Amino acid sequence: MISAKEYDKDRFDRSKRIEWIDMDGIRNARCFVAGAGALGNEVMKCLVLSGFRDITVTDTDHVVLSNLNRCVFFKDGDVENGMKSDILAERASELDRDVRITARHDKVQDIGDWNEFDVILGCLDNISARLHVNAHAYYRDIPYIDGGTDGMMGKVQVVLPNGPCLRCAMNRTHYDVLVTRFSCTGKASAFYIPKNAAEITTTSTVAAMQVREAMKIASGCEGMCIRDMAYYNGISGETTILNIKKDNMCENHMGE
């Protein structure tokens, strides 16, 4: 016999009622969040509330006004007044003081300590950075959960050791986009991020799916993970699971 109040002695009481969830595994998992924009905000919220305790987030950008339609942790006063990763780490820590969030301002191309992470959540806004994280994660057997949004469309691709990777699902249209993002002025190279449609309902759906996959991995339930991509259509409300074949032409799989 227990008293009614005993139900509220544990912050994660309700989470622990889900049989496959391993709260120790989640608590001990070292997460790397690449990008502190819209997906990064939602992913961070879900990670902290789900019990992850060791999170590193990186982003090179400042907060701008147009971020505020979909970034739960950013406020008006943050516009042009702080780095995204710093603000995200500070505000998300307020959700649970037991969480340790490390903010960085590094490009993913400058990350050197990949082996310090057990799971990587991609919240990036360009193909070049995705390919970079994908290659490092695949090479080191670190599970990589990539999210992407385009208006009301979204996707989550789970890259597990020995499985198909992000590159396997790409084609020449991706490389055409990648090339158009770079512009050489003669004096320097510039990198352009297009102003694509983006809103919070698709963002939060995709981010929640990403964190759920991280929970499975941290709980030792990789076998339950999405194989290999969940494609979300926010207009029809459908989510389709798409299988991806390893591409023999993919440089990550040559020689396997």
Partner 1 sequence: MGIHVSVRNATLGATLKMDIAPNETVYDIIESAAEFWKKDPKAYVLRKGKSLLTATDTMMEANIMNGDVLELLPDPEGG
Residue 155 found at the interface with partner 1 (CB under 8 A): yes
Q: Report the C-alpha gap between 219 and 19 in whole angstroms.
A: 10
Residue 146, classed as helix, strand or coil, is strand
252 with 165: CB under 8 angstroms?
yes
Q: Report the C-alpha gap between 3 and 14 in whole angstroms.
A: 16
Residues between 157 and 186 that touch partner 1 (CB under 8 A) = 168-174, 176-177, 180
Choose the binding region for partner 1 from 10-18, 104-112, 152-160, 216-224 (rule: CB under 8 A): 152-160
Residue 196 found at the interface with partner 1 (CB under 8 A): yes
Phi, psi of 66 (to 5 degrees): -70, -10
Q: Report the C-alpha gap between 146 and 122 in whole angstroms.
A: 4
Residue 122 found at the interface with partner 1 (CB under 8 A): yes
Extended strands (E) in 123-159: 144-150, 153-159
Report, in Å, the least distance between residue 169 CB and partner 1: 6
What b/e readout covers 21-41, taking b as 16+ CB neighbours within 10 angstroms?
A: bbbebbeebbbbbbbbbbbbb
Choose the binding region for partner 1 from 11-19, 48-56, 76-84, 229-237 (rule: CB under 8 A): 229-237
Report, in Å, the least distance between residue 53 CB and partner 1: 24
Residue 239 found at the interface with partner 1 (CB under 8 A): no
Residue 147 found at the interface with partner 1 (CB under 8 A): yes
121 with 43: CB under 8 angstroms?
yes
Q: Which is nearer to partner 1, 65 or 241 (CB)?
A: 241
Among 22, 96, 118, 247, binds partner 1 (CB under 8 A): 247
178 with 127: CB under 8 angstroms?
yes
Q: Which is nearer to partner 1, 37 or 51 (CB)?
A: 37
CB atoms within 10 A of CB 92: 26
Choose the binding region for partner 1 from 3-11, 19-27, 92-100, 122-130 (rule: CB under 8 A): 122-130
Q: Which is nearer to partner 1, 143 or 147 (CB)?
A: 147
CB within 8 A of 68, min separation 6: which ones?
74, 75, 76, 79
Q: Which is nearer to partner 1, 119 or 206 (CB)?
A: 206
Residues between 31 and 70 that touch partner 1 (CB under 8 A) = 35, 37-40
- List contacts with partner 1 (CB under 8 A): 35, 37-40, 122-127, 147-150, 153-155, 168-174, 176-177, 180, 196, 198, 228-229, 231, 233, 240-245, 247, 249
